[in-house]
């Protein structure tokens, strides 16, 4: 799964955001499982990138929700 930029995330609808969020959380869980079992993941820096992308998606989802309430 590719790491998404904020402008790419803002163009998505709610269903796409939920789908990407689910995939990112699944990838994060798999990578953390490899670390917990004593293995070395393919890309160590990927964990940080995934966490940041998850935070971006959640933040933008919240922004959209607040804008929708204001209208």
Which range among 26-30, 37-41, 42-46 has the greatest average pLDDT?
A: 26-30
At the second CATH level, the architecture of 6-70 is: Orthogonal Bundle (1.10)
Six token digits for residue 56? 């971006």
At residue 43, the pLDDT reads 84
At residue 4, the pLDDT reads 87
At residue 25, the pLDDT reads 96
SS3 7: helix
Average model confidence (pLDDT) across the chain:
91
**What residues does each domain of the chain span?**
6-70
Residue 13 has pLDDT above 80, yes or no: yes
- Of 57, 61, 48, give the one whose Cα is nearest residue 21: 57
Question: What average pLDDT score do residues 21-48 get?
Answer: 90
């Amino acid at each position: 799964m590719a790491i998404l930029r904020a402008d790419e995330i803002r163009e998505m609808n709610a269903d796409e955001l939920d789908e990407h969020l689910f995939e990112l959380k699944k990838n994060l869980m798999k990578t953390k499982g490899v670390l917990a079992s004593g293995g070395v993941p393919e890309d160590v820096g990927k964990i940080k990138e995934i966490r940041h992308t998850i935070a971006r998606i959640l933040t933008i989802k919240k922004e959209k929700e607040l804008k929708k309430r204001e209208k």
